[in-house]
Structure 1
């Protein structure tokens, strides 16, 4: 089981399934109501899964996928898949690396594009107590676009806080913030410097041991002149630990 993430000990999982559609619907309503004052903002819905854990000793595997529905939740803008292998030498530390592919489909007349990435990440538990768990994630990515020259080098730093809302097995409040830095310009449009900030607030609902879902609101702020306003995103992720 992936040791740097919180574990679910809930033995009463099935009743909490009822909270998933209610929570996601409520999040969509909040997101839809957040955008009228920001004409350039977009309303989106992201849905995905994350499965990780150890398979033999300290050898870990990582699988993550997501679809992103953009343009006021009316257009399938992106599909992505991230796979990796890792090493978990202690309960509070893991190191992973692997390959990811992203398929982007713009709303306008631009052609669809495929992006390939190699990635590396370090996960560290910074603080752990009954009331709060803090996790830091440092991720680096090397990105290539098909039919385009140049490599994008990007660094991402995330801080994640998990606060249980009751006894073990109860839902948890989750807050994350992730900063993206581009380290090099490319001919396909990447500019070096601070690129974006993603901030998430939501709830984690344990379904059964090793399986949970995270539902909430994600704010994606793009940095730079002539870039659209913040994107308001309803996000749901199915999380499996083994």
Structure 2
């Protein structure tokens, strides 16, 4: 429990500092991220999750990525699910296809594992194996993630959402050139149900990239996710 609390405190502090501080030497980009997710129960234990995210960039002249994930999950405890799946991730340059990336994905999600004030904390640990067509090597990375959801009213469904995710590269390849923390994502959003099985999340996402041989990067993204559960 102490390690969980320490990770939570570190993540929330990073989130607060990043939102409070202006960027030091860094390149800036304005982006739009739109996503749709669907989770289907296959019984008491099994789940299937499908999500698709399209990312658009001002600096890259439009569409630059469509990430599609298919995951199969198994609940090992009330709040804990293990997942395994595949990511199909074509990349684009000004809307024109440039390179195809394939990923294996394994993760464990821990929902509502810690109550902090009136809100709930959730966490996820993800590991990915990455391959790019026409480029040699297998890249490995970890993606620890924490999320804090704070309802605006007691027992209410509309809430403030804060999240932090780090990308930690475990090796170097021709396309993964940093070993260690390569980027972080911090999100502040409002989440609210639209119908019984439909949820909307709208917010601001800040993605900071660490680049040892150049100025760091800052992506400022308007983020919108529509979620379905069945």
Residue aligning to 1:208: 195
- 1:235 pairs with 2:223: yes
Change (3 A) 1:128 1:73: farther
Residue among 122, 127, 131 paired with 2:108: 122
CA distance in 2, matches of 1:37, 1:180: 20
- 1:161-176 to 2 correspondence within 5 Å? 161-176=148-163
* Kept after mapping to 2: 8 A contact 1:102/1:116: yes
Deviations 1:206-230 (A, max 9, x none): 1112211110000000012215521
Contact 2:211-2:217 within 8 A present in 1 as well: no
Q: Please, which of 159, 165, 169 is the counterpart of residue 146 of structure 2?
A: 159
Relative distance call for 1:82 and 1:111 in structure 2 (3 A) is closer
State the partner residue of 1:4.
Answer: none
1:81 has 2:63 as partner: no
Contact 2:56 2:64 in 1 (8 A): yes
Q: Does 1:145 align with 2:132?
A: yes
Deviations 1:144-203 (A, max 9, x none): 000000011010000000011114444100000001100010023432111101000010
Alpha carbons of structure 1 residues 180 and 36: separation in structure 2 relative to 1, 3 Å: closer
1:83-102 alignment runs, 5 A limit:
83-102=70-89
Structure 2 portions without partners, runs of 5+: 1-21
**Alignment map for 1:51-90 (pairs within 5 Å):** 51-71=38-58, 74-90=61-77
Q: CA deviation at 1:111?
A: 6.9
Contact 1:53 1:241 in 2 (8 A): yes
Which one has a larger percent strand, Structure 1 or Structure 2? Answer: 2
Scaled by the length of structure 2, what TM-score is found?
Answer: 0.82
> Which residue pairs with 1:22 in the alignment?
none
Change in Cα spacing, 1:91 to 1:208, as seen in structure 2 (3 Å) is farther
Match of 2:31 among 26, 35, 44: 44
Aligned pairs, how many? 207
Residue 112 of structure 1 aligns with which residue? Answer: 98
CA contact (8 A) 2:61 2:94 kept: no
SS at match of 2:217: coil
Q: CA deviation at 1:129?
A: 7.2
Any unmatched runs of 5+ in structure 1? 1-34
How much is the aligned-residue C-alpha RMSD, in angstroms?
2.5
| Distance (whole Å) between structure 2 residues aligned to residue 237 and residue 80 of structure 1 | 13
Q: Secondary structure at the match of 1:230?
A: strand
Q: What is the TM-score with the length of structure 1 in the denominator? A: 0.78
